[in-house]
Structure 1
Amino acid sequence: MDIVTNSLVLLAAVVLSAGLGRALGLAVPRPLLQIALGAAIAAVAPLGFTLSPDVFFLLFLPPLLFLDGWRIPKGGLRRDRGTIVALAFGLVFFTVLGLGVFVHATLPAVPLSVAFALAAAVSPTDPVAVTAIAQHVPVPPRLLAILEGEALLNDASGLVAMRFAVAAAMTDPVSLSQAGLTFLWLVAGGLGIGFWLTWAVVELKNQVALRLGEEADAQILISLLLPFGAYLIADRIGASAILAAVGAGLAMSRAEQSGAALPLTRIRRAAVWTTIGFAANGVMFVLLGEQLPKLVANASATIRSLNHMSPIWLLVDVIVIGLVLTALRFLWVWASLRFVLFRTRNGRGAAQVPGLRLVAATALAGVRGAVTLAGILTLPLRDATGAPFPGRDLVVLIAAGLILMSLIAASIGLPLLLRGLALPAATADEGETEARLAAARDAIAAVIRTRDGPAIGEGGPDVRAAAAEPVLSFYERRIAGLTAGMPSASDQVTRSEHAFWLAAIRAERRTLYQCARAGSLSDSLARQMVRELDLVELRLAGSDGSFANPAS
């Protein structure tokens, strides 16, 4: 019963953080509020949570990584793939090497392998924390897309690197050749299992739905099970369970663009997953705040073993390590932006050079969050001999301090650095205008086919033509630029007009998905536009003759 009560307390704190965030006008990022609430809970009534690292990993990472892979903008990934790959893989290994050596040199009580594990855990950035800060800081859209793409991929690379570091701490170190082959298998096996498992399950459920009809609640439950299934299967065969969850999310994004699900399923599923993402991230930050007092107490004993006179050195160590982490990111960001993002030439043939303000903003925006917390808490409690894992409490506290430091630094520094900052223009916009025009043309074609096809309802050709006229008029006005957005009005229409509106809406949706798959329309915008169509179709389907006439 205690675990249930404690879980409810954590969820209540997450809800309270949302209310406090709105009351403060988003002046403080939500993760910081959640950490503060967790610390308040620990001061009043400590929950005493003791989670097994493996259980903690399984509970939180699969759904979070699945959701990241599902909702990441694919257009941004394609456009800035060079910069994203350089940050997501090169920066991770640069950070692991540089920060690991520095931590071991600064804190000799922390073995080198454990120092590498700490560096690997803090190397991934958190898209949720960045988004929380972006709500009150004007982050340029292209920079935000790069940061989100980096966060999607570096979750996997950082946590895989951490796996090798922990293995080295537990057993004899592996050779470089063996590590390289293992890494290739982890990446290929993990992504492959996640992608193909999701593809097979989606195809199977679509075939069942065609024959027996679609049950929205069952479809949502399947989507909830997919990341855990991919994670467990990959873990069982020795592939990367982390990448399996990411691959499942990427496959789910692709499957969503097939348009096979019913509008009700899409709307409910999106709402459920938004809630899950909010709750899972929030609980992790509240749990971090609740664990902070115990972490400080345990780490103080470790820091005294280093001959420091006061636990104040804990704060000094965190600040110094945080500055080194930021400096490493600054150096790598400067190089990656200079040689990848700014390869375009100006009219005189000189290469553009990224400004230091852009480099500093990109470096500072690499906020640590839920994945770092989840990763560091999976450190084993004991080593291979059964003794306490060396330096565990200390590195967990350092990781927690670096999360706090990155959140505070980004909250204060980004508004100053981003004021008036511009990135090189993207090669193309999100394609909304062209997609809406193409969808309108296809909607007109669908209405004409429906009008001239087999009879619908009662009445002859004249009645059907009259019923189709308001629909055709609406889309013709959209093409002419006289109207935009989705239809809304209050006139009553006949049942025959319903059929024409349905034909038009479904044609629009197919066209939007085709544009998204072709890359001419951004995924996030396509999802938003399809949601508009889904809401109109649901309103139409449930109106029984009282659907609002969009032409009026």
Structure 2
Amino acid sequence: MEIFFTILILTLMVSLSGVAARIIPFQIPLPLVQILLGALLAWPTFGLHVDFDPELFLVLFIPPLLFADGLKTPTSEFLHHGREIIGLALVLVLITVVGIGYLIYWLVPGIPLLPAFALAAVLSPTDAVALSGIVGEGRIPKKIMSILQGEALMNDASGLVSLKFAVAVTMGTMVFTVSGASLEFAKVAVGGLLAGIAICWLYGRSLRLFNRWSGDDPATQTVLLLLLPFASYLIAEHIGVSGILAAVAAGMTITRSGIIRQAPLAMRLRANSVWQMLEFVFNGMVFLMLGLQLPDILQISISEAEVDPNVDLWMLVLSVVLVYAALMVVRFAWLWTMRLISQRLLRRHPMEFSNYSLRELLIASFAGVRGAITLAGVLSIPLFLTTGNAFPARYELVFIATGVILFSLLIGVVVLPLLLRGVEGIDKSAYRREMQMARAAMAGTAIESLYKMAERLMADTEENIDRELVQEVSARVIGHMRRWVDGNDDLERALYTENLERRFRLTALRAERGELYHLRATQKISNETMTKMLHDLDLLETLLIEKEE
């Protein structure tokens, strides 16, 4: 029962964190609010303490979070910025693991070299979700944000794979050589990607079978989709390849393969809602766990500082600041280097970095905040070695990783709004023009199909067709579609017409909902009829409200 109550409390705190972030008079990023709530729960007054298995923590949180990131990553944009993403998500991660690893080893005497590499590996991934929580959606220019999102997706995988190598060598289950590690990394990475693609393909085939057997039951199909990231991870790990990359590949493949597009409408609607909820809960859980660990981390650090003369709490705090500063310097230097390489060696096909100004390089540097994946990675480090001894300096690794996450969020809250002042984010007018152009093109194609359908119906002599009714209905629908085509030439009038129509439709829809409840209250309709019609009204209202936003 204790575990059950703990899960309920954590879920409640995650939901309340969103409310708290909105009612606080000054802006605090949601991850920081969740960390503070977790620390408050762990305060002696409440005394909530959560014991967990690091391996279980990794399996529970990492696959769905990476899968959700893969779902949201447009494959075309990812491939378009492939060189930039590889430069940041692979090369920069390797530079960070080696360079920052040696810095941590030199800076903190109590941390051996291999655990220092493990800490550097978990510090290398960036968090696009935490970044959006700091600056808000649409504040960072799209040419920067597209690369940051692709980087955050792939450096999660490369950083955690590097962590597994460092932990395996520390545990004594693997012998490190440069050639052997390179071959093993290639095998694990490529194998993980192929495993994710293969498992996603098998999921698509099985989904078609379940559609036949279950009669397009959206609940069954949604549950199967929820199991996909865990299946990808566990199967890949079982065959000896990267489960992390398998989860990423599965998330990206499922959007590209058309499996979701061909799925029934009810399943798509339910799956989108469920994934949004799960991503919010899982991200919040991870930051709450960080807050819950803070009092223990501080208490253990103080105790160790009193017992071990080589451990100094203030030195650990200073190490957090220096490690974060080194991460920012390395990141900025690598971005600057990539810009120079692009300008001098890739003039025919330059990278996006070649056009970056100094301010944009600084934005991309400080946008590399650390978040959920860093925390999940460091907490997944085993408590004990295979010999039964404690993992070397584990509490120091957790302390520094926690400090870097907090410090990066705090610095981001202060620095990024200053850097973004006067910088145009997403161009909303260009976005509206693009939407109008797409609607006009879609309406043009739809009108052609409607004309053909009307001609087929009018030419059908076998059915008893009311030709006047066909002409009336087709003219009404085509007239509605024609507005989008005509509005493509006059954007302002089209937007005003759309807004006016939306207001009338929302007014009518809300009146319909009120009448529906009245009909049920007077027992003129059944509860099943009311539920079905309310669902239809909710879908329509959701569509109208999303257009308004």
TM-score by length of 1: 0.82
430-439 vs 387-396, which moves further: 430-439
Give the 5 Å matches for 1:98-497: 98-135=99-136, 138-171=139-172, 173-209=175-211, 213-256=215-258, 259-303=261-305, 307=309, 311-340=313-342, 354-421=356-423, 432-454=435-457, 459-481=465-487, 483=494
1:490 shift after superposition: 5.6
1:436 shift after superposition: 2.3
Q: Distance in 2 between matches of 1:40 and 1:541?
A: 38
Q: Deviations over 1:513-544 (max 9, x none)?
A: xxxxxxxxxxxxxxxxxxxxxxx9x849999x
Distance 1:128 1:541, change over 3 A: closer
401-410 vs 181-190, which moves further: 181-190
Distance 1:234 1:208, change over 3 A: same
Distance 1:363 1:483, change over 3 A: same
Identical-pair percentage = 35
1:210 shift after superposition: 5.6
Letter in 2 for 1:365: A
> Residue 521 of structure 1 corresponds to which residue in structure 2?
none
1:411 shift after superposition: 0.7
CA contact (8 A) 2:367 2:412 kept: yes
Distance 1:124 1:309, change over 3 A: closer
Letter in 2 for 1:17: S
Q: Distance in 2 between matches of 1:465 and 1:423?
A: 47
CA contact (8 A) 1:83 1:341 kept: no
> Residue 48 of structure 2 corresponds to which residue in structure 1?
47
CA contact (8 A) 1:206 1:260 kept: no
Q: Distance in 2 between matches of 1:458 and 1:22?
A: 60
39-48 vs 55-64, which moves further: 39-48
CA contact (8 A) 1:80 1:341 kept: no
1:446 shift after superposition: 2.4
CA contact (8 A) 1:84 1:146 kept: yes
CA contact (8 A) 1:367 1:407 kept: yes
1:237 shift after superposition: 0.5
Q: Distance in 1 between matches of 2:342 and 2:313?
A: 44
Letter in 1 for 2:17: S
Q: Deviations over 1:400-455 (max 9, x none)?
A: 11000010111110011122346999xx9895444323311221122223323356
Q: Deviations over 1:85-109 (max 9, x none)?
A: 1111111011001110010011122
Q: Distance in 2 between matches of 1:339 and 1:306?
A: 48
Q: Distance in 2 between matches of 1:285 and 1:392?
A: 19
> Residue 57 of structure 1 corresponds to which residue in structure 2?
58
329-338 vs 451-460, which moves further: 451-460
Q: Distance in 2 between matches of 1:192 and 1:457?
A: 53
Distance 1:58 1:310, change over 3 A: closer
1:215 shift after superposition: 1.2
CA contact (8 A) 1:186 1:238 kept: yes
- Structure with the largest fraction of helix: 2
Q: Distance in 2 between matches of 1:442 and 1:540?
A: 27
Distance 1:212 1:354, change over 3 A: closer
CA contact (8 A) 1:197 1:230 kept: yes
Distance 1:368 1:457, change over 3 A: farther
TM-score by length of 2: 0.83
Q: Distance in 2 between matches of 1:541 and 1:19?
A: 23
CA contact (8 A) 2:236 2:242 kept: yes
225-234 vs 245-254, which moves further: 245-254
Q: Distance in 1 between matches of 2:538 and 2:50?
A: 48
| SS class of match (1:453) | helix
Q: Which structure 2 residue ranges, 5 or more long, are not aligned?
A: 488-492, 507-532, 541-549
Distance 1:406 1:458, change over 3 A: farther
> Residue 7 of structure 2 corresponds to which residue in structure 1?
7
1:264 shift after superposition: 2.4
1:222 shift after superposition: 1.1
1:345 shift after superposition: 7.1
1:258 shift after superposition: 6.2
Number of paired residues? 494
CA contact (8 A) 1:195 1:247 kept: yes
Distance 1:352 1:198, change over 3 A: closer
1:261 shift after superposition: 2.0
Q: Distance in 2 between matches of 1:284 and 1:208?
A: 34
Give the 5 Å matches for 1:482-521: 483=494
Distance 1:332 1:301, change over 3 A: farther
> Residue 520 of structure 1 corresponds to which residue in structure 2?
none
Letter in 1 for 2:40: A
Distance 1:305 1:122, change over 3 A: farther
Q: Distance in 1 between matches of 2:434 and 2:466?
A: 40
Distance 1:204 1:465, change over 3 A: farther
Q: Deviations over 1:20-56 (max 9, x none)?
A: 1111267100000100011111112222211111100
Q: Distance in 2 between matches of 1:338 and 1:292?
A: 42
Q: Which structure 1 residue ranges, 5 or more long, are not aligned?
A: 492-535, 544-552
> Residue 529 of structure 2 corresponds to which residue in structure 1?
none
CA contact (8 A) 1:232 1:241 kept: yes
CA contact (8 A) 2:71 2:255 kept: yes
365-374 vs 327-336, which moves further: 327-336
Letter in 2 for 1:16: L
Q: Distance in 2 between matches of 1:334 and 1:266?
A: 42
Q: Distance in 2 between matches of 1:436 and 1:375?
A: 44
Letter in 2 for 1:374: A
CA contact (8 A) 2:55 2:380 kept: yes
Kindly report the root-mean-square deviation, in angstroms, between the aligned alpha carbons of the 2 structures. Answer: 3.2
1:280 shift after superposition: 0.3
Distance 1:304 1:89, change over 3 A: farther
Letter in 2 for 1:22: R
Distance 1:17 1:408, change over 3 A: same
